[in-house]
């Protein structure tokens, strides 16, 4: 059975393709030529609004719709099954998500961003243009990610130095940085422009621009220019 709930307040662009069991709440805006796979929710309300359903006799989805402030998604998006995007989220053109992606409220995402399967973006986060986030990445509150950043699978960003505390400090990642798979970035750390974080690193302090770090705790091993030379040689290798 194919089921949809699309808010009468929603604005759906031209040539938008919608799969089965899709819920679009509130005054959400979906750009032209977007593909929304099955079992996707857009505009999901925050907890403070969600729990008000206990006090009403209205239909569940109609009440969620009433409570939602909606989300904005640009043109040409591909939103795969299981993705949930909360209200008050703004996303630019050409978004692509894997399966079972969670994007919480008050997140701002630029254009041409890819978000891999199982990734969690926990809200109040800023992500620039041309960012590639691989599968199973965790990005908590207050994280800021610049343009042209690559984040490998399973990378974890943290925001609480003394958990569980009442003071959160987000990580900042500047433009053109590369973060390897499985890296752990501690709260308040700043990753400089064009820095490279090796796979499995535990980054405990700021990383200067154009610096490559590896290990636990992360330490500098070379410059970004050296890294690019090694990368080019590696890519030019030929195998029988």
What is the pLDDT at residue 55? 86
User: Which residues lie across from 214 on neighbouring strands?
Assistant: 219
Structure tokens at 6: 């699309």
pLDDT at 240: 41
Predicted local distance difference test score (pLDDT) of residue 235: 84
pTM, full prediction: 0.94
Average pLDDT of the chain to the nearest whole number: 95
pLDDT value for 3? 78
Residue range 119-155, pLDDT digits in tens: 999 999 999 999 999 999 999 999 999 999 999 999 9
Taken in order of first residue, the domains within the chain and their CATH numbers are: 4-236 (2.160.10.10)
Q: What is the pLDDT of residues 87-118, one digit of tens each?
A: 999 999 999 999 999 999 999 999 999 999 99
**Mind listing the pLDDT tens digit of every residue in the chain (240 residues)?**
567 899 999 999 999 999 999 999 999 999 999 999 999 999 999 999 888 888 888 888 999 999 999 999 999 999 999 999 999 999 999 999 999 999 999 999 999 999 999 999 999 999 999 999 999 999 999 999 999 999 999 999 999 999 999 999 999 999 999 999 999 999 999 999 999 999 999 999 999 999 999 999 999 988 999 999 888 888 888 644
Residue 208's nearest CA partner among 224, 228, 186 is 224
Do the Cβ atoms of 169 and 153 come closer than 8 Å? no
> Which has the closest alpha carbon to 115: 140, 94, 90, 134?
134
pLDDT at 4: 86
- Answer yes or no: are the C-beta atoms of 124 and 141 closer than 8 Å: yes
Collect all residues with Cβ–Cβ distance below 8 Å to 6 and sequence separation of at least 6. 12, 18, 22, 23, 24
């Amino acid at each position: 059975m194919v089921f949809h709930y699309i808010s009468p307040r929603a604005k759906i662009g031209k040539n938008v393709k919608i799969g089965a069991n899709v819920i679009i709440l509130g005054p959400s805006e979906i750009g032209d030529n977007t593909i929304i796979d099955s079992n996707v929710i857009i505009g999901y309300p925050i907890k403070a609004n969600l729990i008000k359903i206990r006090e009403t006799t209205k239909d569940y989805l109609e009440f969620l719709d009433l409570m939602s402030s909606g989300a904005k998604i640009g043109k040409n998006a591909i939103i795969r099954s299981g993705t949930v995007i909360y209200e008050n989220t703004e996303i630019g053109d050409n978004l692509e998500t894997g399966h079972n992606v969670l994007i919480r409220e008050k997140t701002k995402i630029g254009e041409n961003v890819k978000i891999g399967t199982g990734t969690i973006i926990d809200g109040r986060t800023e992500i620039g243009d041309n960012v590639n986030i691989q599968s199973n990445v965790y990005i908590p509150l207050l994280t800021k990610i610049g343009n042209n950043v690559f984040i490998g699978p399973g990378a974890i960003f943290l925001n609480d130095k003394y958990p569980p505390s009442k003071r959160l400090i987000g990580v900042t990642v500047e433009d053109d940085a590369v973060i390897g798979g499985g890296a752990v970035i501690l709260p308040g750390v700043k990753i400089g422009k064009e820095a490279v974080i090796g796979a499995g690193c535990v980054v405990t302090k700021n990383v200067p621009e154009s610096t490559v770090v590896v290990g636990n705790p992360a330490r500098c091993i070379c410059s970004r220019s050296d890294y690019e030379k090694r990368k080019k040689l590696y890519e030019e290798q030929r195998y029988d």
